[in-house]
């Protein structure tokens, strides 16, 4: 299995289905200040890119995973972290 670099920061949120709009989700998160400090330090040193509007940006990785709460409600677990270079495919990864 590949060794991946540790995340520079990670922000977590639960994305819940909107009861009024089909296919829509909403999220509210409690973000630890320490993770925001890590993100701010990372932003100062990471390579910047321009988006389609010409705004200075940084690239992040966002992952959404389906989950079911203890109450039986479906939701998406969202994780946001620094983007990492793709690992070379050596044929040993199982996913």
- Tell me, yes or no, whether 1 lies in a domain: no
Residue 72 in any domain: the answer is: yes
Q: State both tokens at 38.
A: 């890590």
Q: Which run of H or of E encompasses 57?
A: strand 56-57
Kindly state the average pLDDT of the residues 8-16: 95
43: nearest Cα among 81, 71, 72, 75: 81
Answer whether residue 27 is part of any domain.
Answer: yes
Evaluate if pTM is beyond 0.85: no
Number of domains observed in the structure of the chain: 1
Domain residue limits at 19: 10-82
SS3 33: helix
Tell me if 3 is assigned to some domain. no
Residues 6+ apart with CB under 8 A from 17: 24, 25, 73, 74, 75
Does 93 fall in a domain?
A: no
Q: Is the pLDDT of residue 91 over 90?
A: no
Residue 88 domain flag: no
CA distances from 42 to 8, 13, 49, 83, 89 (A): 7, 20, 14, 11, 27
Model confidence at 90, in pLDDT bands (50, 70, 90)? low
């Amino acid at each position: 299995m590949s060794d991946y670099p540790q995340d520079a920061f990670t922000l977590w949120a639960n994305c819940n289905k909107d009861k009024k709009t089909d296919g829509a989700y909403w999220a509210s998160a409690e973000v630890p200040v320490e993770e925001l400090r890590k993100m701010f330090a990372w932003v100062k040193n990471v390579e910047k890119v321009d988006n389609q509007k010409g705004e200075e940006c940084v690239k992040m990785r966002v992952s959404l995973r389906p989950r079911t709460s203890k109450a039986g409600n479906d939701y998406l677990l969202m994780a946001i972290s620094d983007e990492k270079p793709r690992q070379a495919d050596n044929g040993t990864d199982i996913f």
